Chains A and B, each alone.
Chain A
Amino acid sequence: MAHGRPTKRRDMFPAAFILPPLVWQASFFITPLVFLVWMSFWRVKNFRLTRDFVTANWERIYNAGFFYDAYVHTFTLATVNALVVSVLAFPAAYFLAFRAGPKVRQLAIVFLVTPFFTSYLVRIYSLQIILAEHGIINSALGLVGLGPITMLSTSFATVVGFLTLTLPLVILVQLLALSQVDKRLMEAASNLGVPPFEAVFKVVIPSAKVGLIMAGTFGFLLSFGDYVSPLFLGGSKPPTLSILIADQVKSGNNWPRASVVAVTMVVTLVAVLLLMTSLAYAKRGKK
């Protein structure tokens, strides 16, 4: 029997579990990201990538007007989506957390988790045929003598696409945050005669602040990097950063310039994440 083996073998035991994920993620997650940064300093010479250390790609991209337009557009759309999705999700999450029965809540969670993991690409295609000039909505409007309304290839359509992506997740995260609110606080507010609607703003939202801010941040992160909605619903007018990356790689064949855009996106996302985290955990001012 193997019990009481000398300690040398036992020392290997943690390594058997720690090393596989560590080595795998370091090799295939961190290394590619490092490559991405390095690649942004390479050169494309006669259509061939050349290892180098030049800042030309950075200068080229950062001096390009289309890059600034894309950056501002992407950031604005993602911010708008984060706000809209937070506001739209909140009543649903509130209802599920405090008012709905456990059966309804359970069923709703299944209906929220499922779309989050299924076929975003084909759902956006479906929205395309719903919103198109001669699509479902406009042909329905036509039947009653209205329309057509132009919806496709607008920022409105892009945000609708973002919402189908982010709404389920944001409702789930908000629900998680709200279910940790101390119900006695709400009872206390009610006993003190605070109307329910007011209690939402004075008790519920302040005590669930961290989770609510993180939910909105997810809404930002997911839409900031999305490629499909801005392209197929927004009509790439103007292109977003993800579209720039795909274009540089797929048609421009300029990986270094695409890397510059990608590194800029990563830095932006880390900055937003840090800012929102510090905002979420910030102590409220002296009152």
Chain B
Amino acid sequence: MTRGDKILSVYLAAIFVFILAPIVTLIVFSFNADRFPSLPWSGFSLEWYEAIASDSTIHTGFKNSLIVAVATAVISTILGFCAAYTDYRFKFFGKMGFLALAAMPPTVPVVILGIANLTFMAQINLAGTLQAVILGHTVYCAPFAMALIRIRLADLDPDIEPAAWNLGATRMTTVRQVVLPFCRPAIFSAMAITAAVSFDEFMIAWFVSGINETLPVRILAMLQGQVSPRINAVGSLVFLVTITLVLIAQAAVYSFRKTRRNV
């Protein structure tokens, strides 16, 4: 290792400290006995976890978030698969426009998706419902699913499907028996990442959920009140759920990156 490499690796470590410090601080102070987070540390306590365990708004929020995340994961993964397979298999006029439409939503700030959804949902009498949150989240999440499944499809030889057709399989059968099994790890990964993004998303949900708060919306409301280690506790729980999902998603991607070489 040259001297320059050493400096750069120390620099990289510093970047990671910066990125990870808030997460570590969050978790550490969720166990702090003192009400006001400061140094020195004032002793271990589960008080704040007990407080949120008996808070019914947290329970409801958790349940709502779970419903929204599961529904969003299923719908956006189906949409993502359709879009990825379209890009893989078909050529048609306007395909570029189709792909732009399918990929664009995450580049629009969530605050704008939030208010746009609110104005629209109010017109179709869905504002203030969990269905509205699900619709908003699927739009935002489907592109992530599409990207993951498209990357997997890039490794499927385009001549394999025509071979199955020649042997008498219909196109739909081929999709069911060849394409879908091949995409399984990517579909799994897409479900996990879209569930994580949805479980974490607070802006669209805040605008359209009304009184049906999801957990991050509840946290946002808590943030507008007083500083309280309860926020650390519930934040740590949300973090635990999303990080688990994101790590599952990455492990699935890693597994298919490895199997590709054997195909």
Q: Chain B, 135-152, contact with A by CB distance < 8 Å: what is the 0/1 string? A: 110110010001000000
Binding stretch for chain B, among A54-62, A182-190, A220-228: A220-228
Residues of B within 8 A of A36 (CB): 112, 115-116, 119-120
Residues of A within 8 A of B203 (CB): 227
B105→A25 contact, CB < 8 A = yes
SS of A interface (majority): helix
A124 to B224, CA, bound (A): 13
A108 within 8 A of B: yes
Residues of A within 8 A of B170 (CB): 2-3, 5
A282 within 8 A of B: no
Q: Which of A255-273 contact B (CB under 8 A)?
A: 255, 258-259, 262, 265-266, 269, 273
B98→A262 contact, CB < 8 A = no
A196→B4 contact, CB < 8 A = yes
A31 to B124, CA, bound (A): 12
Q: Of A18, A135, A164, A242, which contacts B19 at CB under 8 A?
A: A164
Q: In angstroms, how far is the closest chain A Cβ from the Cβ of B100?
A: 10
Q: Of A94, A121, A258, A265, which contacts B8 at CB under 8 A?
A: A94
Q: Of A21, A35, A111, A262, which contacts B79 at CB under 8 A?
A: A21
B112→A266 contact, CB < 8 A = yes
Chain B residues with a Cβ closer than 8 Å to the other chain, count:
88
A163→B235 contact, CB < 8 A = no
A130 within 8 A of B: yes
Q: Which of B123-180 contact A (CB under 8 A)?
A: 123, 135-136, 138-139, 142, 146, 165, 168-173
B52 within 8 A of A: no
Q: Chain A, 130-166, contact with B by CB distance < 8 Å: what is the 0/1 string? A: 1010111011100100000000000000000001100
B220 within 8 A of A: yes
Known contacts being A22-B101, A36-B116, is A164 close to B22, with CB within 8 Å? Answer: yes
B231→A135 contact, CB < 8 A = no
Residues of A within 8 A of B15 (CB): 88, 92, 167, 171
B200→A120 contact, CB < 8 A = yes
Known contacts being A117-B200, A259-B119, is A21 close to B246, with CB within 8 Å? Answer: no
B96 within 8 A of A: no
Q: Of B79, B207, B220, B232, which contacts A121 at CB under 8 A?
A: B220
| Chain A, interface residues (CB within 8 Å), range | 35 or more
A122 within 8 A of B: yes
A91 within 8 A of B: yes
The residue in chain B whose Cβ has the minimal distance to the Cβ of A106 is B254
**Sample (6) of A-B pairs whose CB atoms are under 8 Å apart:** A100-B12, A114-B250, A225-B109, A249-B115, A249-B207, A265-B109
Chain B: residues with CB nearer than 8 A to chain A? 4-5, 8-9, 11-12, 15-16, 18-23, 25-26, 29, 36-40, 78-80, 82-83, 85-86, 89-90, 92, 98, 101-102, 104-105, 107-113, 115-121, 123, 135-136, 138-139, 142, 146, 165, 168-173, 193, 196-197, 200, 202-203, 207, 216, 219-220, 223, 227, 231-232, 235-236, 238-239, 242-243, 246-247, 250
Chain A: residues with CB nearer than 8 A to chain B? 1-3, 5, 10, 13-14, 16-18, 20-22, 24-26, 28-33, 35-36, 39, 88, 91-92, 94-96, 99-100, 108, 110-115, 117-130, 132, 134-136, 138-140, 143, 163-164, 167-168, 171, 196, 221-222, 224-227, 232, 242, 245-246, 249, 255, 258-259, 262, 265-266, 269, 273
